[in-house]
Structure 1
Amino acid sequence: MTSLNSIYSERLDLPPSCVAFCPTSPECFVVGTYFLHPKHEQKNAVSDAVDGPNSTAAGAGSDDEAQKRSGSLILYRLTDDHIVHSATELTPTFSILDIEWSPHVRQHGSILAVATSTGSLAFYRLQAENSGARLQWLCEKQICDAAILVLDLVWHTSQAHVIAVTLSDGRVCICKNPTTTDSLWSTQEPLEIMDVTQHDLEAWTLAFAPNSTAMGIFSGGDDAVLRRTQSVDQEFGGWHDRRSHHAGVTAILPLRSDLILTGSYDDHIRLISAPIQGRRTVLAESNLGGGVWRLKLFDPAAGAAALPGTPTSASAILSRESGPSGSLLILASCMHAGSRVVRLSRKYSPGAPLAVHTDWSFEVMAKFEEHKSMNYGSDIQPGDGTADADGRRLKTVVSTSFYDKLMCLWRVHTGTT
């Protein structure tokens, strides 16, 4: 395992909770921040037990409700080996829990959706100006009661007017514009909100199932339950799995409709066979040394072909045409353990069904441990990356940590160019 070092770092004014590179302007990225203001009777800063994104959703009715939360969206630009500040949008009335750029560039352009601590989704547009780029506020849509936090959000991959969210009261909801196909952020258009499923505790994460015409959704919660539900009433009523994880489910990354990666507070990354019907099976797992808060795939080399309904990054490992073996790289944000670069590998046996194949394995290829507190937000710069003197491909990563307010820039080898 390789230990990686930063090539640039800086301290932020507020604790960072999430980070996302812009797909249309890959030199730009946004950091969302989260700050829980101390109670008046507290002389010191709020304790670690109540002011992190993974603990603020302690539930409606707690004393934390009365405390003010604020944050910011900070726009940066990568310039060689440096991070340059472009603009800051303060959010004095809410903190940021999650951010995600719209994948529907033709319909939306560069639109950023923001999950807030006041039960709403906020929308911003990346605006280029003569003086530099900035985030232009578009609108805010109320999803639920302002005392409830929106914890995670995801755009539907093919329906540009649909976003799904998870909430601190355990609900998983679909939000869509009922009258248009692309103006989800329009101030004139009300959103249609539909509850899809309910976790017993905070619903930390969700993902749309690839190739799901009925909007199949995977979700995970603090109740250690992995769920699959459909937003459209069909014969399939969904399932829930309580056996695969030993603590809260905090990350879900589908490779295809019946094969997913998960992360958990129990420090493990898992590959799970998760068919619509039939038993769920853990095909591989690995202890990463810290709670696995988020998972992201490294892009493949230029020219790689995607399978229908499959992330391009996953095609090399899922396609039999790629040969008897294959692998992909995953970036894991591992809370107190820092960041990990993990390789998932498989070997096919002739005639063996992919979904139940047992010869899968994880290997930690590299670790980044300069963060001294919770690593919640990390992202990979889009594109082919750069090459070192030996022709090895380098990918750029920005990672953050919460309590020490640290943002780091680093690179990792991901293969040959």
Structure 2
Amino acid sequence: MALINSIKSLTLDLPPSCIAFSPLYPQLFVVGTYHLHGKEQQGDLSTENQQHPETTTISSDDDDDNTSPEPAAPQKRTGSLILLHLGDDNTITLLSTTSTDFAVLDIQWSGDVLAVATSTGLLAFYRLDACGSSDEHVKGELELVCEKRVSGSSTLVLSLAWHPSRANVLGLTLSDGRVCLCTSASDIWSVDAVVKVSDVHAHSLEAWTLAFNDQQILSGGDDIQLLCTHIQEQEDPQPLWQDRKLHQAGITAILPLSSTLVITGSYDDHIRLLSLPSIGRKSCLAELNLGGGVWRLKALQPNTSSSISPITLLASCMHAGTRIVQLIRDESEDIWRFEVLARFEEHRSMNYGSDVQPGQRKRVVSTSFYDRLLCLWEV
């Protein structure tokens, strides 16, 4: 197992919560930040509650002092969207910083449109205005297109997923446990667009993540449940199944590989390959302890072959740093296994956001929350 060193690092002004490279301009990437006012923002809180590490996540509202007779005032959250340029020579250049009156919890691209999950029950949409003909001369800025309210102002939008074939549909998860579809009446997200928000299903605690898989939505929550619902064009969603036996703690990442094979990450520090047929027994085909809560998962490169194995993954592992993990299938014995190929451990606090630059050269930018560190490294 290789230990990777950073090529470059820098300290951001605010704690980074998420990161995403532009699919259209691979040298540009955006970092979303999250600042909780009035609470301690320094240090690693992951050891405060060993039994429930999820209480240390960036969306926790818990107050250690429960003796006050007065109700706690809502805590203010703000953030920013930082647009940066990654040069061929590994220089990182700040292009723009957009301050927001909400904290940013997730960002997802669809072409030149960036959907932003906010701490105030809003979806915000920004368009990347970029220009330049060569890598070193590309410039850009983010322009706010519109904001659409999807829940009350005290509800956090925790994660987002664009529908794989319908540009006017976005899936989202909320801190009140709901999983929703947000549908625009047109393919263009604009101030005038009429937007419908419909519930798909609900968790009993925070819904941390979701993914589209064929005509299904899979979601995972703090209640240790994996929920699956069938979505149809003109009809109400139909719940298919639920499972709370495959994980030992909250489910934080879902990455479908096929209609029945899905990789998940959890607060219990494990990455898992699951077999999830619509009818019949759900099972775990492989699992591995990565040393930290597996907050996000991403394939290092698109799988263009008919075979799933092998697939190489980038895993953001909260207090353990970042891992490069390979999923391999031994076809002779029909056995799956995970193997850690490399680890990056220069982060000294929660690694929530990591992304790989699109293209042949596998450069990764990873971040850590409390120390506000951004690191560039290469696989």
Structure 2 portions without partners, runs of 5+ = 49-53, 64-69, 133-137
Task: State TM-score, norm by structure 2.
Answer: 0.89
Q: Pick one of 167, 171, 175 that aligns with 1:168.
A: 175
Distance 1:206 1:189 in 2: 24
Task: State TM-score, norm by structure 1.
Answer: 0.81
Q: Pick one of 149, 164, 167 that aligns with 1:142.
A: 149
Matched, 1:87 2:70: no
Q: For residue 332 of structure 1, what is the amino acid of its counterpart?
A: A
Q: Contact conserved, 1:120 with 1:140, CA < 8 A, in 2?
A: yes
Match of 1:291 in 2: 293
Matched, 1:397 2:364: yes
Q: Pick one of 56, 62, 73 that aligns with 2:60.
A: 56
List aligned pairs for 1:4-403, cutoff 5 A: 4-38=4-38, 45=41, 48=45, 53-56=57-60, 66-79=74-87, 80-91=89-100, 93-102=101-110, 105=111, 110-128=112-130, 132-177=139-184, 179-180=185-186, 182-183=187-188, 185-209=189-213, 211-212=214-215, 216-232=216-232, 237-299=239-301, 312-313=302-303, 315=305, 317-318=307-308, 326-349=309-332, 358-385=334-361, 395-403=362-370
The offset of 1:289, in angstroms, is 0.2
Q: Contact conserved, 2:231 with 2:237, CA < 8 A, in 1?
A: no
Distance 1:65 1:160 in 2: 38
Q: Name the Cα RMSD after superposition.
A: 2.3
Distance 2:144 2:236 in 1: 38
Task: Give SS of 2:303's match.
Answer: helix
Task: Give SS of 2:34's match.
Answer: strand
Distance 1:153 1:207 in 2: 9
The offset of 1:275, in angstroms, is 1.3
Q: What is the percentage of aligned positions where both structures have the same residue?
A: 54
Distance 2:72 2:266 in 1: 25
Q: Pick one of 406, 411, 414 that aligns with 2:373.
A: 406
Bigger shift: residues 4-13 or 62-71:
62-71
Q: For residue 401 of structure 1, what is the amino acid of its counterpart?
A: S
Distance 2:41 2:6 in 1: 29
Task: Give SS of 1:219's match.
Answer: strand
Structure 1 portions without partners, runs of 5+ = 300-311, 319-325, 350-356, 386-394, 413-417
The change in CA–CA distance for 1:119 and 1:235 in structure 2 (over 3 A counts) is: closer
Q: For residue 137 of structure 1, what is the amino acid of its counterpart?
A: L
Question: What whole-Å deviation, never above 9, does each CA across 1:312-361 have from its counterpart, x for those lacking one?
Answer: 4274643xxxxxxx411000000000000001001224xxxxxxx85000
Question: What whole-Å deviation, never above 9, does each CA across 1:72-129 have from its counterpart, x for those lacking one?
Answer: 00000001212111100000x2000000001xx3xxxx11000000011100011125
Task: Give SS of 2:82's match.
Answer: strand
The offset of 1:63, in angstroms, is 6.2
Distance 1:164 1:36 in 2: 25
Task: Give SS of 1:66's match.
Answer: coil
The change in CA–CA distance for 1:317 and 1:289 in structure 2 (over 3 A counts) is: farther
The offset of 1:146, in angstroms, is 0.7
Residue correspondences, number: 357
Distance 1:57 1:288 in 2: 27
Q: Contact conserved, 1:35 with 1:51, CA < 8 A, in 2?
A: no
Q: Contact conserved, 1:331 with 1:342, CA < 8 A, in 2?
A: yes
Question: What whole-Å deviation, never above 9, does each CA across 1:202-253 have from its counterpart, x for those lacking one?
Answer: 00000001x32xxx10000001111111233589631111110000000000
